[in-house]
């Protein structure tokens, strides 16, 4: 083979490489197919969910509006003002075990909204009488 014609030399060297690449691609395709068969998520062992999270996944069965103010209605008002249904949904979304409350009254002290801003609440009642009928009470 003459040395002054490197293009022919390159062509003859590239052809075996192409066929080798095609063979490798076929073997990779076979591997990926078997990999997909092996990675069947229905056969995988699912992690056990803690009691708090299992409780948090429960959806309410019914809903009604509050008629009269109470401590529970006050706390529901605070959760709903922050954009949550109630304490159950707050714990599920924020993945916390405890909600910060005032020790004197038991009312919610601080909540973090979904956009990560905080709502801070007073020790005293904040839900006025005219707001009570707007509070939704969920039954589980």
- β-strands 62-65, 110-112: how paired? unpaired
Dump pLDDT digits (tens) for 39-80: 343 433 333 334 444 454 778 999 999 999 999 999 999 999
For the chain, what is the HEC assignment?
CCCCCHHHHHHHHHHHHHHHHHHHHHHHHHHHHHHHHHCCHHHCCCCCCCHHHHHHCCCCCEEEECCCCCHHHHHHHHHHHCCCCCHHHHHHHHCCCCCCECCCCCCECEEECCCCCEEECCCCCCCCHHHHHHCEEEEC
Q: Give the rounded percent of residues in the chain with a pLDDT score beyond 90.
A: 56
Give the residue with greater pLDDT, 58 vs 106. Answer: 106
pTM: 0.60
Q: Averaged over 29-37, what is the pLDDT?
A: 40
State residue 75's pLDDT score: 97
List the one residue out of 91, 99, 86, 11 whose CA is nearest residue 53. Answer: 91
User: Tokens at residue 95, please?
Assistant: 């993945």
**Mean pLDDT across the chain:** 74
């Amino acid at each position: 083979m003459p040395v002054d014609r490197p293009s022919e030399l390159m062509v003859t060297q590239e052809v075996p490489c192409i066929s080798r690449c095609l063979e490798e691609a076929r073997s990779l395709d076979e591997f990926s197919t078997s990999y997909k068969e092996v990675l069947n998520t229905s056969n995988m062992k699912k992690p056990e969910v803690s009691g708090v999270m299992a409780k948090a996944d429960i959806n309410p069965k019914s809903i009604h509006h509050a008629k009269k103010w109470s401590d529970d209605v006050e706390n529901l008002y605070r959760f709903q003002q922050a954009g949550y249904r109630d304490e159950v949904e707050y714990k599920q979304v924020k993945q916390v075990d405890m909600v910060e409350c005032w020790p004197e009254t038991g009312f919610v002290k601080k909540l973090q909204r979904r956009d990560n801003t905080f709502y801070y609440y007073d020790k005293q009642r904040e839900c006025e009488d005219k707001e009570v009928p707007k509070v939704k009470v969920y039954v589980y």
